[in-house]
Amino acid sequence: MSHTPSPSDAPSPQTSRRDFLRRGGALSLGATLPAWGMNLAAMAASADAAAALGNTGDGYKALVCVFLQGGNDHANTVVPVDASGHALYARLRGALATPRAQLLPLSPLATAPAVAGLGGGQLALSPALPKLQRLFNTERRLAVLLNIGPLQRPTTLAQFRARSVALPPKLFSHNDQQSVWQSHAAEGSTVGWGGVIGDQGLLLNRAAQATESLSCVNLAGNAVYLAGQQAGQFMVNPLGPDRLLALQPANMLGSQDCVDAFKALVGTQEPAVHRLAKEHSAIMRRAMDTNAVLLDKLSAITVPAERTQPSGNPLADQLRTAVRIMAAHSSLGLRRQVFFVSLGGFDLHDNLSGQHPVLLAQLDEALAQLDTDLDALQMRDQVTAFTASDFGRTLSSNGDGSDHGWGSHHFVMGGAVQGGRFWGDWPEVTDHDSGAQNIGQGRLLPTMAVDHLAEALARWMGVTEATLLDTGAKALDRIAPHRSAFAGNSPLTGLLTG
C-alpha cells in the first residue's frame, strides 16, 4: 500500500460517514485505487437527473482538465505581436520579453468578433507552441480564453482596491488558488466542480450498467477538481493501470493463503464491524475489481496513431493513457467521463526565459498528440480539453522571473470547440501599476470568471437547468456557484456545440 493513513487521517468518533469519505484523500495500491471519497454505494439514483442528461443523446463525451501546476506565465504564452502592442509588452516585461520576430501570429476567423480592448492589434503565441498555432489558425479546433480567473462577481479596479465586493479567498496562494480554480473554495474544500459534473455523468453510466467507478479518472495524483458529492476519483498510473501481483498465488509463494492474508490486510476479505471500516473495505474491493476490469479492457486497445514526439513528456504520457481509457468506453459501457492530468514546474520566480519555453513545448506536443490520437479513433467531437492553472503572473520582472498574479489566458481544444477565435476581452495594462485591469505590477484583474468556463463545459456534458443534485438544488448552481452574480449572457455562450 503506497499510503498509510496517519493518526490525523483516521476518522474521529465525531466524523460523519460522508466527511470521512470525502476527506480521506487518495488511497492507492500501485497508484490505481480511487479516493476514499468514492461513496457510490450511498448514492440514491435520480431518475429525473438521468433523464435530463439522457435527453442530450446517448453518445459518449469526455472532459479533460489539463492543470499547469505553479501558475503559468500567461504574458509569455499569449503575446501582442502588432508594433505598438509589442512595444508596450516589451517595455513592461524587460528582459523577460520574447522578441517580436520569434512570436507565432494568430489569425482568427474573419467572422470572429473583434477583441474588445485590443484596439485592432494582433495576438501571437510563444515560439514554443507551433502545434497550437496550427490548431488555432488552420484546424480551428483551439480557442483562446482571455483574462480568466476566479471571481465571485463582476469586479472593477476601484472595487478591488476598496474591498467593497466579495473577492476570491486567499489570492496569490498556490494551494488555495489551485483549490479555488478547481472547487471555487480555498484549500480544504472537499467537492470540485469537475466532480459534480462527474456525479451527473455517473447517473448515465449507472443507467447503462457501466463500470461507474471510472466516471472520474485522475492520472496526476489527488485533486479536489474530481471530487464529487457522490462520484470519486479513480487513480490510474500515468503509464497505465498496474497489475496487482499480490492477488495472484504464483506471486505469493504459490499460496492462496498468502493472497487471502493480503486481502485481509487491506480490508477486502475479513468482515468489518465499524461502519466506516465497512465503507473502506467496500471501496477497496470496488477499486480492485475496477482495476482488474480496466486492465482486461485496455489489453485489447491499441491507439492507431504513432507517438511522434520525444520521450520524457509526462503530460503526453498521461494523455495517452487517458485516450486508451476513452477508447475502451464502449466495452466499459461508459457514456460520460471526466479526466484530470497535470504538468508541473510553472512557478518560475527565476530562469523563466530558459525553463518556460521547455514547459510550453511539452504542453504543445501533448495537446497536439491528444488531437491526433482522438482523430485516429474518430473521437475528436466527443472530447474537450482545457487548460487551467493556479493563477497568472506579474507582467513586471523580479529579475529573471515573475511573481504570483491572478487573471490569465487559457486554451480550450476539441472538435466541438468554436476555435480560431478569442473569447473574452484583452486586459488594459498601460504601465507597471496602471490600467483598468492592473491591480499592481501587471497582475491582471480577471474579466471572465472560472464559473463561466465551468458552466459552459457542464452544459456541453449534458448538465441542464433541470439537472438536480440529491439535495434538490440545481447542479449548475454547484458547478458555477457565482453565475447568478453575472448579469446577461455568459462571455462563453457558443464556445461549444454538439
Q: What is the CATH number of the domain that holds 100?
A: 3.40.720
Domain assignment present for residue 1? The answer is no
Burial of 254 (0-12, 13-18, 19+ CB in 10 A): exposed
| Residue that wins the pLDDT comparison between 352 and 231 | 352
Is residue 188 predicted with pLDDT exceeding 90? yes
Give the pLDDT band (50/70/90) at residue 209. confident
Mean pLDDT (the chain) is 85
Is residue 187 predicted with pLDDT exceeding 60? yes
Q: What's the mean pLDDT in 270-283?
A: 65
The secondary structure element, H or E, covering residue 460 is: helix 450-460
Q: Which of 267, 263, 261, 299 is nearest to 283 (CA)?
A: 267
pLDDT digit string, tens, across residues 101-160:
999 999 999 999 999 999 999 999 999 999 999 999 999 999 999 999 999 999 999 999
Is residue 51 predicted with pLDDT exceeding 60? no
Is residue 37 predicted with pLDDT exceeding 80? no
Count of domains for the chain: 1
Is residue 25 predicted with pLDDT exceeding 50? no
Q: Are strands 383-389 and 78-80 parallel, antiparallel or unpaired?
A: unpaired
| For the ranges 44-58, 144-158, 477-491, the one whose mean pLDDT is highest | 144-158
Matching residue, cell 462563453: 492
Distance CA 141, CA 126 (A): 18
User: What is the model's pLDDT at position 269?
Assistant: 54
* Amino acid in the structure at residue 208: A
Q: What's the mean pLDDT in 474-498?
A: 95
Maximum Cα interatomic distance, the chain, rounded to a whole number of Å: 75
C-alpha cell at 347: 512557478
Q: Which residues pair with 144 in a beta bridge?
A: 411, 422
User: What is the model's pLDDT at position 20?
Assistant: 41
Is residue 3 predicted with pLDDT exceeding 60? no
Helix, coil or strand: residue 262: helix
Domain assignment present for residue 496? The answer is no
Give the pLDDT band (50/70/90) at residue 272. low
Domain assignment present for residue 497? The answer is no
| Residue that wins the pLDDT comparison between 27 and 325 | 325
Q: What's the mean pLDDT in 310-328?
A: 92
Domain assignment present for residue 2? The answer is no
C-alpha cell at 244: 496487482
Domain assignment present for residue 491? The answer is no
Q: What's the mean pLDDT in 413-431?
A: 98
Q: What's the mean pLDDT in 403-411?
A: 99
User: What is the model's pLDDT at position 26?
Assistant: 37
Q: What's the mean pLDDT in 317-345?
A: 96
Q: What's the mean pLDDT in 187-212?
A: 91
| Residue that wins the pLDDT comparison between 205 and 287 | 205
The secondary structure element, H or E, covering residue 201 is: helix 193-207
User: What is the model's pLDDT at position 332?
Assistant: 93
Is residue 366 predicted with pLDDT exceeding 90? yes
Burial of 247 (0-12, 13-18, 19+ CB in 10 A): middle
pLDDT digit string, tens, across residues 86-107:
999 999 999 999 999 999 999 9
Give the pLDDT band (50/70/90) at residue 42. very low
Is residue 359 predicted with pLDDT exceeding 70? yes
* pTM recorded for the entire structure: 0.86
Q: Are strands 383-389 and 408-414 parallel, antiparallel or unpaired?
A: antiparallel
User: What is the model's pLDDT at position 263?
Assistant: 60
Q: Which of 158, 165, 163, 146 is nearest to 448 (CA)?
A: 146
Give the pLDDT band (50/70/90) at residue 264. low
Burial of 484 (0-12, 13-18, 19+ CB in 10 A): exposed
CA dihedral 478, 480, 485, 487 (to 10 degrees): -130
User: What is the model's pLDDT at position 241?
Assistant: 86
Q: What's the mean pLDDT in 391-402?
A: 96
Half-sphere exposure for 116 (CA within 13 Å, toward CB): 8
Give the pLDDT band (50/70/90) at residue 70. very high
Domain assignment present for residue 8? The answer is no
Is residue 54 predicted with pLDDT exceeding 50? no
Distance CA 6, CA 344 (A): 26
Q: Name the DSSP letter for residue 26.
A: B
Helix, coil or strand: residue 48: helix
Q: Supply the range of the domain harboring residue 174.
A: 17-485
Alpha helices in 266-349 (DSSP H): 275-298, 314-327, 329-332
Alpha helices in 55-173 (DSSP H): 83-93, 130-137, 157-162
Beta carbons of 173 and 150 less than 8 angstroms apart? no
pLDDT digit string, tens, across residues 440-478:
999 999 999 999 999 999 999 999 999 999 889 999 999
Distance CA 237, CA 218 (A): 9
Domain assignment present for residue 158? The answer is yes
The percentage of residues in the chain with a pLDDT greater than 90, rounded to a whole number, is 69
Distance set, CA 289 to CA 241, 268, 423 (Å): 12, 11, 43
Q: What's the mean pLDDT in 181-202?
A: 97
Give the pLDDT band (50/70/90) at residue 210. confident
Domain assignment present for residue 66? The answer is yes
User: What is the model's pLDDT at position 470?
Assistant: 86
User: What is the model's pLDDT at position 57?
Assistant: 41
